[in-house]
């Protein structure tokens, strides 16, 4: 009663994401780049992925990073609105139900320990745990670690710079994911550089395959 829920998109009372804003979310529909999942005019590799020797098999995202989805991610990530994680997890589950993405274990993209202390939680871990409960898949959140900090990807000028930023940033503590089909979980995909850097470490530790699933992607 003291703190009623309000839609992060329009401010209406009653829920964190109202039916009107849910209906207005911009879905990503084919054709898309088969690797990064970016919408385009055909099903060929986009210019950013053509010639890229990626470790990650593919990245998929149900929504464009615009409007209410952008507001929801911002509130979860920067304003401590952890209560919205179950709703966003359900949206990701809806996508996973209707699309065949191999994965027998969920692994959230980790934060550096300094950033984790500052924020108090990892939003990707929250999304992975909600999705794991719905999909009945185990979540391994203490194997893949971020061993050094890197500049925020949004500040990078281009794809090449973003990929360089995250070289050697991640490592696996052990071989628990050896032979596993890993589904990496992140909130937003930009160039795919962070997810691919995670995939490099996972593959080096013996992961059978690595796909990425994010709530949204920048277009």
Express each pLDDT in 171-200 by its tens digit.
999 999 999 999 999 999 999 999 999 999
Count how many domains the chain has. 1
| Assigned domain for 7 exists | no
What domain range includes position 99?
Answer: 19-217
- Phi, psi (5° rounding) for residue 139? -115, 125
Angle (CA) 46 47 50, round 5°: 80
CATH number assigned to the domain comprising residue 195: 3.40.50.2020
Residue 156: what pLDDT? 52
Helices (DSSP H) in the chain: which residue ranges? 19-23, 67-78, 85-98, 113-119, 123-135, 159-165, 193-204
By three-state DSSP, how is residue 184 classified? strand
For the chain, percent of residues with pLDDT exceeding 70 = 95
Q: Model pTM?
A: 0.94
Decide if 8 is inside a domain.
no
Q: Return d(Cα 165, Cα 182) in angstroms, integer.
A: 23
Q: Is the pLDDT of residue 90 over 60?
A: yes
Tell me: the pLDDT tens digits for 5-38?
A: 999 999 999 999 999 999 999 999 999 999 999 9
Determine the average pLDDT of the residues in 134-160.
Answer: 82
- Number of C-beta neighbours around residue 140 at 10 A: 17
Q: If you count them, how many residues does the chain have? A: 219
């Amino acid at each position: 009663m003291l703190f009623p829920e309000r839609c992060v998109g329009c401010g209406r009372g009653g829920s964190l994401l109202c039916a009107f804003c849910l209906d207005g979310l911009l879905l990503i529909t084919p054709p898309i780049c088969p690797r990064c999942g970016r919408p385009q005019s055909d099903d060929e590799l986009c210019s950013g992925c053509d010639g890229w020797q990626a470790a990650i098999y593919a990245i998929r995202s149900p929504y464009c990073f615009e409007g209410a989805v952008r507001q929801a991610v911002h509130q979860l990530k920067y304003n401590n609105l952890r209560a919205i994680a179950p709703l966003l997890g359900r949206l990701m589950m809806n996508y996973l139900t209707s699309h065949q993405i191999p994965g027998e274990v969920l692994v959230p993209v980790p934060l550096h320990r300094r950033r984790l202390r500052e924020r108090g939680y990892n939003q990707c871990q929250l999304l992975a745990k909600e999705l794991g409960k719905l999909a009945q898949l185990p979540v391994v959140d203490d194997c893949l670690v971020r061993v050094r900090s890197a500049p925020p990807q949004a500040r990078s000028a281009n794809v090449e710079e973003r990929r360089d930023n995250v070289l050697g940033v991640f490592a696996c503590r052990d071989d628990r994911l050896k032979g596993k089909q890993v589904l990496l979980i992140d909130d937003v995909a930009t160039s795919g550089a962070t997810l691919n850097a995670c995939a490099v470490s996972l593959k080096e530790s013996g992961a059978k395959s690595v796909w990425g699933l994010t709530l949204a992607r920048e277009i």
